[in-house]
Amino acid sequence: MCWIVFRHFSKILLLWRGVLLFVLLGVTATAERAHIAVASNFKPAVEELKRSFEEQTGHEIIISSGSTAKLYSQIRFGAPFDVFLSADHLHPQQLADENLAIRNSAATYAIGRLTLWSRSVEIANISELADTSIRRIAIATPLGAPYGVAAQEMLAYNGLDATVSDKLVVGESIGQAFAFVHSGNADIGIVSLSLVLQLNEGERGYRWDVPDGSYSPIEQQAILLLKGANNEAAETFLAYLISPEARDIIESYGYTTP
């Protein structure tokens, strides 16, 4: 019995030495790790950016995605994020006001575009949303989700907000609104173009890109958070995000860049 315990003990000791060695090596290496909070519309794009960034720099990126509003409130409550890729410019600015982010690090990395998207209905005109054959229109919540705010603005601009209000189903993020349409539960979604473009050609169904000018530009800003202030990986990633290479990637996901 004693012998068994001892054997295990020596095994544990060996394991600990391994862990210690690993930690020491990790500290001496220059590669760092940055934890990035990203609005769910940008998740597909950031996955690709992460791959090429990690390959080039050796830094490691960890991604958490969610609705802008949720990530914002998590950051306020001390979530361990180094960089925030918001779907708007308001939330990063607010974090800077609250001294939780470095104001002069804020940069617009993408300008989002809205599209009407359906898997079953061809859409030629915005007014078709009022058609009785359209039962459910998915949007992100206008309380907090930037694409939801833009969708609501666009409906109001076209004088449709009252007409279609009964048909709206509201996702907590643009990702959920997108899933409502993708799973066939909603006929049409007012979603971000980027989410539609990530699908295979065969799955894209029908879409009608909403003209600019019927909603305020969705300026997606990135900002360095206080927790990431001395994190080289975080700073390098922010710089990479506005590099020509990153821009090309971002544009291929249906955004425009400044």
Separation between Cα atoms, residue 236 and residue 156, nearest integer Å: 40
Of the candidates 41, 65, 67, 192, which one interacts with another protein according to CB under 8 A? 67
Of residues 28 and 132, the one with the C-beta less far from another protein: 132
Q: Which of residues 178-197 bind another protein (CB under 8 A)?
A: 179-180, 183-186
> Shortest gap between Cβ of 155 and another protein (angstroms)?
16
- In the structure encoding, which two tokens stand for residue 55, read together? 């390959």
What gap in Å lies between CA 116 and CA 124, rounded to an integer?
A: 10
Stretch touching another protein by CB under 8 A, among 48-56, 162-170, 193-201, 220-228: 162-170
Sheet harboring 137-140: ordered strands across?
Answer: 168-171, 137-140, 188-192, 114-118, 206-209
Binds another protein by CB under 8 A, chosen from 43, 70, 207, 227: 70
Contact 173, 87 (CB under 8 A): no
Q: Which residues pair with 223 in a beta bridge?
A: 84
Of 136 and 247, which CB lies nearer to another protein in the complex structure? 136
Comparing CB distances to another protein, the nearer of 59 and 70 is 70
| Nearest Cα to Cα of residue 85 among 112, 59, 65 | 65
Q: Which residues bind another protein (CB under 8 A)?
A: 67, 69-70, 73, 135-136, 138, 141, 143-144, 168-172, 179-180, 183-186
